[in-house]
Amino acid sequence: MQKLSPSRPLLDAAAKEGKAIAALNFYNAETLISHLKAANSLNASIILQTTEATISYLGVEMIRGMAQAAAAQCEQPVALHLDHGRSYDIAAKCIDNGYTSVMIDGSKLSFSDNCELTRQVAELAHASGVSVEGELGHVGQNSETPAEDKTQWFTRAEDAQRFVAETNVDALAVAVGTAHGFYRGEVSIDFERLRQIRDAIPSTPLVLHGGSGVSAELLRECIQCGVRKINFGTELKDAFTRAVKSSLCSSDDIDLRRTFQPAISAVEEMSRSKIMICSGNTVERQTSGS
Please identify, among the stretches 67-75, 124-132, 205-213, 265-273, the one whose residues bind Zn ion according to the rule CB under 5 A. Answer: 205-213
Looking at 83, 149, 159, 190, which residue is catalytic?
83
CB of 127 vs Zn ion, minimal distance in Å: 26
CB nearer to Zn ion: give 86 or 93. 86
Contacts of 57-66 with CB under 8 Å at 24 or more apart are 57/27, 58/28, 60/93, 60/94, 60/97, 60/98, 60/99, 61/97, 64/97, 64/98, 64/99, 66/29, 66/32
C-beta separation of 60 from 97 below 8 A = yes
CB of 180 vs Zn ion, minimal distance in Å: 5
Please identify, among the stretches 63-71, 201-209, 253-261, 266-274, the one whose residues bind Zn ion according to the rule CB under 5 A. Answer: 201-209
Rounded CA gap, 50 and 31, in Å? Answer: 11
Rounded CA gap, 21 and 234, in Å? Answer: 17
Active site residue 83: yes
Asked if 138 touches Zn ion (CB under 5 A), the answer is no
CB of 269 vs Zn ion, minimal distance in Å: 22
Sign (positive or negative) of CA dihedral 118, 124, 127, 129: negative
CB nearer to Zn ion: give 35 or 37. 35
Asked if 209 touches Zn ion (CB under 5 A), the answer is yes
Which residue type, as a one-letter code, is found at position 228?
A: R
First to last CA, the chain: 21
Question: Of residues 16-35, which lie at the interface with Zn ion (CB under 5 A)?
Answer: none
Using CB under 5 A, count the residues that bind Zn ion: 1
Asked if 81 touches Zn ion (CB under 5 A), the answer is no
Please identify, among the stretches 108-116, 122-130, 203-211, 256-264, the one whose residues bind Zn ion according to the rule CB under 5 A. Answer: 203-211
Helix axes 29-42, 60-72, angle to 10 degrees: 30
Residues forming contacts to Zn ion in the complex (CB under 5 A) are 209
Residues tagged active-site: 83
